[in-house]
Structure 1
Amino acid sequence: MSKGYLKATIILDNSKYKDITAHSMPNLIYVSREKCRTSPHHFKAGALNALLRVSATMTNAPTILTLDCDTYSNDSQTSHRALCYLSDPKFRSNLGFVQFTQRFRGINKKDIYACEHKRLYKINPFGMNGLLGPNYLGTWCFFSRRVFFGGPAHLLLLEMPQLGPKNVLDKPIQSQEVLELAHHVAGCNYEKNTTWGLELWVRPIGRVMCRSPCTRLRSLSPYGSLVEDFFTGYQMHCEVWKSILCHPDRAAFYGDAPMNLVDVLNQNKRWSTGDLEVAFSKHSPITHGTRAMGPFMGLAYAHYAFWPIWSIPITTYAFLPQLALLNGFTIFPKVSYPRFLLYVYICIGAYGQDLLDFVLAGGTFHRWWNDQRMWMIRGLSSFLFGTIEFSLKSLGIASHGFNVTSKVLNEDQSKRYEQGSIEFGVSSPLFVPLAMAAIVNLVAFASGNVELIRGSNSLEELFMQMFIASFGILNCKPHYYKK
């Protein structure tokens, strides 16, 4: 017991338990970690950190696999593939981790919530694989234990050498000494006034820290990240560690995707707030990242970090042309003007390239349409609220919260999802700008038609604004019959 919260370690004795083929079962270790009142974001980043220490006391295995709670293995050869990379003399000296592409089972035919995240999980990682390697995606990743203790040429010193990556264990897992040490290092209090908690930058902590070959840089705050996976990969690549993307034909793992809109938007809002924390820190990928990793890798991380800023142009196009249409103003050139061709080229070129990338990555037209619609929806909700939340926190007005994505499904919800019906879930402020956009676009389109009938303006003058309003209505279609 510790501060009123249970802390326990459960070990499976492989000398007693056998599988159906009479082979010994592996040592299954379960750690229940006490809650830490001083850190509201301890449960994921802090739990990973605690498990890293506990595993060091029990096995100190050189390879670590991180998985989400809803993940299950789909290929028995996955570990073999990862170890082939991690053990290869060509890569071993500076290879930090092997990241498998994320795939989900149970996504409906049209992927109405764009849960595949083709760009995040496949297209962009393949591009980064030609540089230092893909970012850590938070799960389905094999790490070298050495990567958590400094750069390839620098190994940090610890108060307890037993936790170091080079420590050799000579005691059985179930010995009293090992169990006592495991209980000690699993606690939140262990990190107080130690290099582990103050200086040692084990990446699951989620600190915005990077290290040059000669200088250690201070962290912004311990356990201060909502996207510890993004920070983890970023920090490792700044340390000159490399990573490899593994994309076998047969999925290595499968996970579950959220099946209602509010869970999807809450998840993306959490990512948005966390991304902006690093984007506007002194270790921003635009400045520090480009110096530490090179311009291309720095810009690749900046693309992720500044994602939520898309809320500004998306919100502008969702409301400004429509409000101008309602007031009888024209803000775009006439169809007959040569400048109009520039808008046509930008629109067709951007959407055409996006569709081509999506289809080449194994997608379909229907899934692409839902993906671009969800991009609009996220821009008006998740990105917008994430940006506001980060801004308020930066001004000291409010601090971010943490919404865990629900993994619990009921039969009716799953059935509606399979039928392709968008389910909003519980009421949420995230839906307010979406509802406003749906109403404004519909009213503006109707008002524009009235203007055309009256002859107040010609179609040549209002075409672009009418087109944008109709496109908004098409994307807002699910909001007109909310379920």
Structure 2
Amino acid sequence: MTNAPFIVNIDCDMYVNNPNVVVEAMCILLGAEEQESIFVQFPQIFYNQPKDDPFGCQLNTLFQTLLRGMAGIQGPLYCGCNCFHRRKTIYTLNSSPNKTGKIEENYGESEELTKSANEILRGVQANGRTHTTIDLSTSIQSAYQVASADYENNTAWGLKVGWLYESMTEDILTGIKIHSKGWKSVLLQPNPPAFLGLAPTGGPDALTQRKRWVTGSLEIMVRKNTPLLAFFLTRLTLRQCLAYTYFLIRGLYAIPQLVYAILPAYAILTNSHFLPSVQDTALLATFVPMFILYHSHSICVYLQCGLSVRAWWNNVKMEIIATTSSCVFGILSLVLRLFGISEAVFEVTPKGQSNNNVDDGNVGKFVFNESPLFIIGTAMVLLQLMALGSKLLAGILQPPSSSDGRRGSGIGEILGCVWVLMTLSPFLRGLFAKGKYGIPFPTICKSASLILLFVPFYKWL
């Protein structure tokens, strides 16, 4: 309400940690042309997470790799908070300052706000600086009017003006619209960090947040504001388009990952194989080196970001856990919404000190509840245990061959099952733990029922 030419965007769970943050942002915004510095994005850094990021919520590698890479193209994506925007940019996302139409239709019926917006759009200048004659900071009545729940009705707010509401990840969508105009953003990573905040802890909160991200990101990809169309129709560059596309479709990785997680157990239960035998040189020449090189590169990225090997392993586990929960349900939520069966609901992620498990000494321990998000992960653990148990009964050292003479499952499939169990170790421990650290009995029953449906089905494959 101060009517300043710049807006600072901070979530309610973040706070300013560096007293020079405004000065550093203004040095960028005032020292360059508008199109070269539309907004300044600071990374999200969290202070409430236990050591080595046991819940994979700190997003360190994301900011150190993807956002730094995008900073060399058209600039980092808009992350929803810890950001300084030019007010004029937010007012003209889908329109030109000289083609705004009726000002009231875009910005509402507040007399003070429409006059202010009009002056900002026309760029009234005084002594080389933008000058406005409306002082909104003293208009309490205007504040009440604009803050009302129905003020945005029948206006362009959320559609053509301001943050765009067409997706649950409105920050990413708003950033795409900004970069589609050919404008650029800037990434700043000062020391000490500019902002610090709270990240979700435990199991349900972290997975709920990821589910919302997956649904919102994929929703952007299938609608008119997809970066794939923006590359051809707007001024979004090719490399920026590819960076956005990579970020938005990450949730789809759940499909092949889930299939590969099921394959070892399926091969053992059907006495088949999808990996070469130990005697086959292809196993040592192809699969083992690929596995080692992939994870070695991943570890090196974490080490370069100043993180530990344990943090890497925790994030590997959380990626698999998210695959079997948040991503699957996020994709399902999008499909139901596209077919008009249901509407996606914005689920607010609880964040707070009370959720970090320090009260009972179990710092970083996974928490469960009766949420459907835990059904598939629990079912995956039960499936792997069932496959290994059947293999043990059949004889591990001398696996029987199939009736038609083909080779049955071997050590490769067994190691695959063990790897899946290692990555889902929080669920494995949850089967035997009690209280909030144990998987609720109804969830176990639902997961077992899912397995019972799978067992007769695989015989037909």
**Kept in 1: contact 2:38–2:89 (CA 8 A):** yes
Counterpart of 1:170 in structure 2 is 133
* Distance of 1:445 and 1:244 partners within structure 2: 51
Deviation, 1:150, is 2.8
Aligned match for 2:265, one of 311, 314, 322:
322
Q: Does residue 473 of structure 1 match 2:421? A: yes
Deviation, 1:362, is 1.4
Counterpart of 1:180 in structure 2 is 141
Q: Which range moved further: 93-102 or 156-165? A: 156-165
Q: How many residue pairs align between the two structures? A: 403
* Distance of 2:37 and 2:260 partners within structure 1: 44
**Kept in 2: contact 1:448–1:462 (CA 8 A):** no
Deviation, 1:454, is 6.4
* Distance of 2:191 and 2:408 partners within structure 1: 51
Deviation, 1:412, is 8.1
Q: Give the alignment's TM-score, normalised by structure 2.
A: 0.81
* SS of residue in 2 equivalent to 1:298: helix
Cα deviation code 1:214-259 (max 9, x no counterpart)? xxxxxxxxx3321111111111111111111111121111101112
- Aligned AA for 1:402? F
Q: Does residue 367 of structure 1 match 2:311? A: yes
* Distance of 2:153 and 2:323 partners within structure 1: 40
Cα deviation code 1:271-316 (max 9, x no counterpart)? 1110111111133223324653122110100112111101101111
Counterpart of 2:440 in structure 1 is none
**Which runs of 5 or more structure 1 residues have no equivalent in the other structure?**
1-54, 207-222
Q: Does residue 334 of structure 1 match 2:277? A: yes
1:68-79 paired onto structure 2 within 5 Å: 68-79=11-22
**Kept in 2: contact 1:93–1:152 (CA 8 A):** no
- Aligned AA for 2:399? S
1:19-34 paired onto structure 2 within 5 Å: none
Q: Does residue 125 of structure 1 match 2:71? A: no
**Kept in 1: contact 2:200–2:349 (CA 8 A):** yes
Seen in structure 2, the aligned counterparts of structure 1 residues 334 and 405 have a Cα distance that, compared at 3 Å, is same
**Kept in 1: contact 2:201–2:355 (CA 8 A):** no
Counterpart of 1:447 in structure 2 is 390
Counterpart of 1:304 in structure 2 is 247
* SS of residue in 1 equivalent to 2:167: coil
- Aligned AA for 1:363? L
Cα deviation code 1:323-363 (max 9, x no counterpart)? 22112111222233343232223322221221111111111
* Distance of 1:411 and 1:262 partners within structure 2: 11
Counterpart of 2:109 in structure 1 is none
Counterpart of 1:389 in structure 2 is 333
**Kept in 2: contact 1:151–1:240 (CA 8 A):** no
Counterpart of 1:282 in structure 2 is 224
Cα deviation code 1:58-84 (max 9, x no counterpart)? x22011111111111111011111110
Counterpart of 1:201 in structure 2 is 161
Seen in structure 2, the aligned counterparts of structure 1 residues 358 and 417 have a Cα distance that, compared at 3 Å, is farther
**Kept in 1: contact 2:53–2:314 (CA 8 A):** yes
Seen in structure 2, the aligned counterparts of structure 1 residues 171 and 142 have a Cα distance that, compared at 3 Å, is closer
* Distance of 1:386 and 1:412 partners within structure 2: 25
* Distance of 1:380 and 1:455 partners within structure 2: 32
- Aligned AA for 2:289? Y
1:148-159 paired onto structure 2 within 5 Å: 148-150=90-92, 154-155=96-97, 156-157=99-100, 158-159=103-104
**Kept in 2: contact 1:290–1:296 (CA 8 A):** no
- Aligned AA for 1:463? I
**Kept in 1: contact 2:54–2:311 (CA 8 A):** yes
* Distance of 1:419 and 1:130 partners within structure 2: 38
Counterpart of 1:345 in structure 2 is 289
Seen in structure 2, the aligned counterparts of structure 1 residues 232 and 431 have a Cα distance that, compared at 3 Å, is same
**Which runs of 5 or more structure 2 residues have no equivalent in the other structure?**
105-113, 125-130, 402-406, 431-436, 438-461
* Distance of 1:442 and 1:453 partners within structure 2: 14
Deviation, 1:402, is 2.0
- Aligned AA for 1:410? S
1:79-118 paired onto structure 2 within 5 Å: 79-89=22-32, 91-118=33-60
* Distance of 1:339 and 1:384 partners within structure 2: 33
* Distance of 2:94 and 2:186 partners within structure 1: 16
- Aligned AA for 1:170? T
Seen in structure 2, the aligned counterparts of structure 1 residues 192 and 130 have a Cα distance that, compared at 3 Å, is same
**Kept in 1: contact 2:254–2:324 (CA 8 A):** yes
Counterpart of 2:411 in structure 1 is 463
Q: Which range moved further: 429-438 or 142-151? A: 142-151
* Distance of 1:333 and 1:308 partners within structure 2: 30
* Distance of 1:260 and 1:233 partners within structure 2: 30
- Aligned AA for 2:29? L
**Kept in 2: contact 1:333–1:461 (CA 8 A):** no
Aligned match for 1:423, one of 364, 367, 376:
367
Cα deviation code 1:168-209 (max 9, x no counterpart)? 44355565xx333343333343333334466x332x1x2xxx
Q: Provide the aligned C-alpha RMSD in A.
A: 2.5
* SS of residue in 2 equivalent to 1:414: coil
Aligned match for 1:189, one of 143, 146, 150:
150
Seen in structure 2, the aligned counterparts of structure 1 residues 390 and 436 have a Cα distance that, compared at 3 Å, is same
Q: Which range moved further: 324-333 or 269-278? A: 324-333
Q: Give the alignment's TM-score, normalised by structure 1.
A: 0.78
Seen in structure 2, the aligned counterparts of structure 1 residues 130 and 332 have a Cα distance that, compared at 3 Å, is same
* Distance of 1:128 and 1:335 partners within structure 2: 43
Q: What is the percentage of aligned positions where both structures have the same residue?
A: 29
Seen in structure 2, the aligned counterparts of structure 1 residues 412 and 363 have a Cα distance that, compared at 3 Å, is closer
Counterpart of 2:215 in structure 1 is 273
**Kept in 1: contact 2:29–2:39 (CA 8 A):** yes
Seen in structure 2, the aligned counterparts of structure 1 residues 436 and 345 have a Cα distance that, compared at 3 Å, is same
Q: Which range moved further: 76-85 or 449-458? A: 449-458
* Distance of 1:134 and 1:417 partners within structure 2: 38
Seen in structure 2, the aligned counterparts of structure 1 residues 397 and 297 have a Cα distance that, compared at 3 Å, is same
